[in-house]
Structure 1
Amino acid sequence: MVLVATILTSLPAAADGQITTKLDNLDLDRILNSDRLFNAYAECLLSNGKDRCTPEGTELKLLLAAGLQTDCAKCNDNQKARMDKIIRFTTGNKKDFREKLKAKYDPDNKYFQNYERRFRVTS
């Protein structure tokens, strides 16, 4: 729970209380379709520090964790669609990474389970 509190209190928020839109223009398709880029972001998301992360990766790490843990409650429609795309992509194409992500951010399978049920994503 300390991780959740830390993430939520450090999460960059826009003026209207929504999650920041800084990463809304990140070329998600380019990242998902490039093993080199995907692996760099994956390494960042799975690392325990900022040492393996670009500034965008560090921000993505915060957004992903907060999005999962709050069911994307403060996400705008674009962010929800992007979160959905990432979860669906990893479910279909990067199952090993997805399992590592679940182990790190959701060891009790509480958040992924809620998300998968909501969007009818299947493993």
Structure 2
Amino acid sequence: MYKVFIFVIIALVVAVISEKKNDNEEYTSQYDGIDIPKLLANRRLVLGYCKCLLSKGACSPDGAELKRVLPEALEADCRKCSKKHKHGARLVLHHLIDHEPKCWKELEGKFDPEGTYAKKYKHNFTLED
């Protein structure tokens, strides 16, 4: 199963990205204090982000920003993501695969139908970092 593109998606959820002027800058650290396990324990919230990303439901401002920047982040290897963002993304990735497989498959189908990003990021798929 290709699991990796969600790694980037959730790095962005954690970061709630704002556009940057310089490619050397990282995504905002404004949300670095989020308790990821607590967030993941709230299924309603997780599924809300999923519906937003799939254009099946309303988006919060954070979700809308994530949806807007996700394609660029996938294409750019998440180079603006900090280590903290990447670790949070890995936690969410594992959660979606293990606990929300329907959401995972739909996101994968929408954002990586050819498996391009899964192949590209496969080497990054571990919880360590």
| TM-score, length-scaled by structure 1 | 0.71
Q: Provide the rounded CA distance (Å) in 1 between the counterparts of 2:84 and 2:126.
A: 18
Sort the Cα spacing of 1:57 and 1:23 in 2 relative to 1 into closer, same or farther, 3 A.
farther
Contact 2:50 2:103 in 1 (8 A): yes
Q: Provide the rounded CA distance (Å) in 2 between the counterparts of 1:14 and 1:81.
A: 24
Shift of 1:119: 1.8
Shift of 1:120: 4.9
User: More displaced, 35-44 or 23-32?
Assistant: 23-32
Residue 115 (structure 1) aligned with residue 121 (structure 2): yes
AA of the residue aligned to 2:20: A
The residue that corresponds to 1:74 in the other structure is 80
State the number of aligned residues. 110
The residue that corresponds to 1:23 in the other structure is 31
- Percent of residue pairs identical: 28
Gaps of 5+ in 1: 1-9
Contact 1:11 1:66 in 2 (8 A): no
Q: CA RMSD in A?
A: 2.8
AA of the residue aligned to 2:46: F
Residue 13 (structure 1) aligned with residue 20 (structure 2): yes
AA of the residue aligned to 1:13: K
Shift of 1:44: 0.9
